[in-house]
Amino acid sequence: MIEVTIDSIRVSLMSQHRIVVLKEENGSRFLPIWIGPFEADAITLQLQGIDAPRPLTHDLLKTVIETLGGEVLHILINGLEKNTYYAQIVLDVDGDTIEIDSRPSDAIALSVRVSAPIFVAEEVMDQAGLLPEEEISLTQGASDESPETPPEEGEKAHDEDLGVFTDFVEGLDLDNLLGN
């Protein structure tokens, strides 16, 4: 198992797509995972220390686990099949270790609430990890959604090539545009 931290959450300006980027703790690889906008917001709010006026789903999950005497030991992103990531929430309940199947985004949102470490299985990192010089874009990567999910909800979006927009923005002459 490879310990990772949340490096960033990236947002597409052209759609509702989000990617959580995990970084290898003692290495240089990154793991991009497509997530939904609600899960991205749940992770971001917690990382920024912003309290919601009412408990979010992941806050409720944390409270239920703690109320029942459980503790989140760690999160493990343990599989990647057909562009879909799989994860487990590993709990200690009365001395017993319990593994619960989860989408990575939900597991990560819970982990930031309970300060539990996040791990990635070595074979998953070997299969999907990227080195820093490789570009992490919203047109590559896999999803934590099920294969039946429509493309706009997490599948690869090969038709969303943002390169043309990057070229346009980089080619803007702001001095002439602003009258300087």
Asked whether the beta carbons of 16 and 149 are under 8 A apart, the reply is: no
Domain coverage including residue 106 = 2-177
Number of domains into which the chain is organized: 1
Using DSSP's 3-state secondary structure scheme, residue 169 falls into helix
Asked whether the beta carbons of 30 and 23 are under 8 A apart, the reply is: yes
CATH number, domain of 148, equals: 3.10.690.10
What Cα–Cα distance (Å) separates residue 57 from each residue in 71, 107, 128?
17, 12, 29
Return the closest-CA partner of residue 129 out of 112, 114, 141, 146: 141
* Sequential pLDDT tens for the chain (180 residues): 999 999 999 987 777 789 999 999 999 999 999 999 999 999 999 999 998 888 889 999 999 999 999 999 999 999 999 999 999 999 999 999 999 999 999 999 999 999 999 999 999 999 999 998 766 555 555 666 644 343 333 333 333 445 555 555 556 555 554 454
pLDDT of residue 149: 40
